[in-house]
Amino acid sequence: MAERFAQERHDPRVLALKAGLLVVWAAVSFGFCFLARDFQFMLGGWPFGYWMAAQGAVLAFIAIVVVYARIMLRLVPEDGVTESASNVDA
């Protein structure tokens, strides 16, 4: 039981990464929606604000997931956690 609680503790680096990515997520989600009307030029027959609010947000979310995955892959070997130890059944 003690091992399970030890695995659930979070590294401060991971918490800082999550907090930073959540701030980016919030800025993209709310920023694109509020600022979409300010972009007045057209792109492909549609206002640029529409493309940023509809497609730009999705691309930003995909980028957030990719950044998180890459950084976590780099942090896992530093922690010394092997794959068999991380797949312990509950």
With respect to residue 2, please indicate whether it lies within any of the assigned structural domains: no
pLDDT tens per residue, range 9-58: 677 888 899 999 999 999 888 877 777 777 777 877 877 777 777 777 88
Predicted model pTM: 0.64
What is the number of structural domains in the chain?
1
Q: Which domain holds residue 17?
A: 10-86
Residue 70, domain member (yes or no): yes
The predicted pLDDT at position 35 comes to: 74
Is 4 among the domain residues? no
Kindly give, in sequence order, each residue whose CB lies less than 8 Å from that of residue 38, ignoring residues fewer than 6 positions away: 49
Q: Is residue 27 part of a domain?
A: yes
Q: Which tens digits make up the pLDDT trace of 54-80?
A: 777 888 899 999 999 999 888 876 656
Question: CB-based burial of residue 65 (10 Å sphere; 0-12 exposed, 13-18 middle, 19+ buried)?
Answer: exposed
Q: According to DSSP H, which parts of 1-90 are helical? A: 2-8, 12-35, 48-51, 57-79, 83-86
Q: Please tell me the distance from the alpha carbon of residue 39 to that of residue 10, in angstroms, as a whole number.
A: 41
